[in-house]
Amino acid sequence: MQQIDFHKLFQEFVYNPKEPMIFSSGFFLFLFLGFIAVYSLVYRHNRLKNIYLTLFSVFFYYKSSGLYFILLLITAVVDYNLARQIARTEDKNRRTFFLILSLCVNIGMLVYFKYTNFFLSIVYEVANRPFDPLNIFLPVGISFFTFQSLSYTIDIYRRHIEPVKDISEFAFFVTFFPQMVAGPIVRASVFLPQVRKTPFVSKADFGKAVFLICIGLFKKAIISDYISLNFVDRIFDNPGLYTGLENLFGVYGYALQIYCDFSGYTDMAIGIALLMGYKLPANFNSPYQSASITEFWRRWHISLSSWLRDYLYISLGGNRKGKVRTYINLMITMLLGGLWHGAALRFVIWGALHGIGLAFEKFINSVVSIPKNKLTRVLGVIITFHFVCFAWVYFRADNMTVVKAMLTQITTSFHAGIFYDFVKGYPYVLFLMLLGYVLHFIPADTELQVQQLVTKSPFALKVVYLLVIVLVVIQIKSSEIQPFIYFRF
């Protein structure tokens, strides 16, 4: 009889930077089964449930970022107390002071960990001196949980919500593990009322959760990871070795990869939360079906785009101060949105491209009345998709040299004649890309029908669906863990 290697088992519970905790790992499945068993015993006791879930969430974050879980605790303690000060203070100057203090703590952490090297590199470049980047670790998901916590203090400052009286409730809100490290960014007004209630999982909720987890696993571990490792990464690592045709398909592949990776995580996050009785907002709505850049941002990373709209764009004046000011506000919002994604010039360019696109659309719509019919819809979808793909080149490329090489190959060395050989060389990659895009463009009604089919299935059949997906993932996935793309943001 084989003995259990307790030392090896213990090591699974220790932070390993090469193997961050992700939903698609076998260890998370093992851990979650144990977690949910205990959760089923404590979920009716509100305070005990909050503490238990917070402790598990902090451990989950420890497995993703090591000792930097302390940042989560600092965020929770600081914003809980500052929010109470804001709420109980009538003096506007004192309330503004406490809000600014919250902004300084949250944005300060974000700037230090994410942008120190970026800003220092600019200073050194201006001074014409060589720059050796500081060894600063980027905690997973810091952009997400700082924005989420900030929305709480800002909403209290605006008197949109009342502060919580129990810090265990706020800690639960800030650290909730399904969406803590990669979203969706949840508003306190939406989530805190759920924290105070006894969770309930209906048969429909359970079915929807299974459906979302299966879809999320399929998107992430089957489509995204496979086309990334076997095609997209190779193209972006050295675009000059490939023809323009291969580079173009590399861009199409990345557009699908990042969608499947990010929306796959969101699907699993929403599904896992639903299994515990909590409802998270949708973060994606078939974004490549958009017929305009404006519509794209209503469908892509919905929680971030709505956060930027409500807390930045509208605060800048939105569209209330004339056309020129509206265009400027859009540019500022998208430039900061690009910088939010990463500390590099290419992310700023990516944000600028979308800002220009949004401003251009507003200008065109103000001077021309475009008829709305099926033809203009199809043309809008094609144009928008390719604009988004063009911008993705800047988002994905490691540097501007790669961007230039890719665009040069696509525009000057296309070689369409190799298409047949290209298909023969990457049959599985192209099949998964075709499958991914076909599934993405299916009507919403069809997707809802499939979801209802899973929901109405017997419990045993739901388990079979999940096991089939897990088995397929095991067969296809690489030996190394492939972290989610947005873990870096």
Tokens of 337: 């949105």
Residue 286's Cβ-count burial label (10 Å; 0-12, 13-18, 19+) is middle
Residue of 304, 289, 298, 400 lying closest to 358 (CA atoms): 298
Distance CA 64, CA 138 (A): 11
The residue from 301, 341, 354, 440 that is catalytic is 341
Angle (CA) 243-227-219 rounded to 5° is 145
Question: For residue 33, what are the CA distances in angstroms to 37, 38, 101?
Answer: 6, 9, 40
Phi-psi map region of 156: left, alpha, beta (phi>0 left; psi -120 to 50 alpha): alpha
In this structure, the dihedral spanned by the alpha carbons of residues 38, 39, 44 and 50, taken in order and rounded to 10 degrees, is: 120
Any catalytic annotation for residue 354? no
- The alpha carbon dihedral of 51, 53, 59, 65 has a sign of negative
| Cβ atoms of 373 and 348 closer than 8 Å | no
Residue 132 vs residues 76, 125, 129, 254, 321: alpha-carbon distances, Å = 34, 11, 10, 31, 44
Taking the alpha carbons at both ends of the chain, their separation in whole angstroms is 46
Burial degree of 97 (CB within 10 A; 0-12, 13-18, 19+)? middle
Indicate which residues carry an active-site annotation: 341
